[in-house]
Amino acid sequence: MNAADAPAQARPVEVDLGPHRFRIASNYFDIERGQDAQGFMRLILRWPELAPLPPGVHYLSGGESERIRNIDISPTYLDRVPPQTRLDREWISNVDSEQELRENPTLNPELRIKAAPVDGLTPYYTDFAKVDAYYLKRYGKRDLPATDRHSLFNNDWFVARDADGTLTTIIKCTAREEPDGARIVDGRLELLDAPRLPSCSHAFLLPKYGTYVQVSYLRLFMRDWQRIEQRIRAIFDDGHIGDAPRR
C-alpha cells in the first residue's frame, strides 16, 4: 500500500473555550481542523454509538439514512453573561412585551400543557387550542405562520432541574403532533415514508468551563439525552490540557 492509498489518520487538534484549552482528535470536528478563525467549533457524533466519524469521512457523506444519525454539537464560551443566565433565557423569552410574555401560550410555560415525565424530563407541550384562540383574538384569524404546527415557535419543551430547582437541561422538539418520520428497530434507525423528520434542539452547560452547549439531533434520539450529555462532558474532560494563566 502506498501513501496515497493509506487510510486517513486522526490527528490531535488544540482548541480553546475562553481560557480553557483542549486537545481533541480531528475527526470529532466537522471541518477536522477544530476552530475557525472566529473561534467557532462544531463537533459531530453519530448515533447510536455516539462516536466520531472515521478520519477523512465528511459529516455529510453517505445517504440520508446515514446523515440523519448525526448529532451536531456547538459549544460556546460565555465571558459576558453567566452560563446559567444564558440557559434560563431558553426558558423565559427575551420578548420585551410583558403582556405578550404573559398571554402568548407559546412563550408562557404556564400556558403550556405540563405532563408526566418523559425519559427523566418534564414536558411542556404546545397547547394548540390556546395558540389558535390567542391569535384569533389578537388578529381576527387563526391561519397564520405563528399557528403552524410545524413552526419552531410551537416546539414542545422538555426540561430537567437539579435538586434545588435550577434548570440544567432544556430540549425543544418539533411538536408531538408531527409523526416521527422514522423508527428505531433493534437499535437501528429506519426511515419511513414521511415528508419531515422532527428534530430537537438541546441546551445544557459545562459549568467548569463556563460554556453553553447547543446540540441538535433527530427527535427519536431524545431518549438518549443523558447519554449524549455525558459523552460530550467526557470529550472535554478527557481532552482538557490546562487553562491559560489569568492576566
Q: What is the pLDDT of residues 128-176, one digit of tens each?
A: 899 888 888 887 766 677 777 777 778 999 999 999 999 999 999 999 9
Strand partners, 149: none
Cell of 140: 381576527
Confidence tier at 96 by pLDDT (50, 70, 90)? low
What is the rounded CA–CA span in Å between residue 193 and residue 174? Answer: 18
In contact, 70 and 240? CB cutoff 8 Å: no
C-alpha R_g of the chain: 20
Cell of 152: 419552531
Overall residue count recorded for the chain in this entry = 247
Strand partners, 240: 22
* Residue entry with cell 482548541: 15
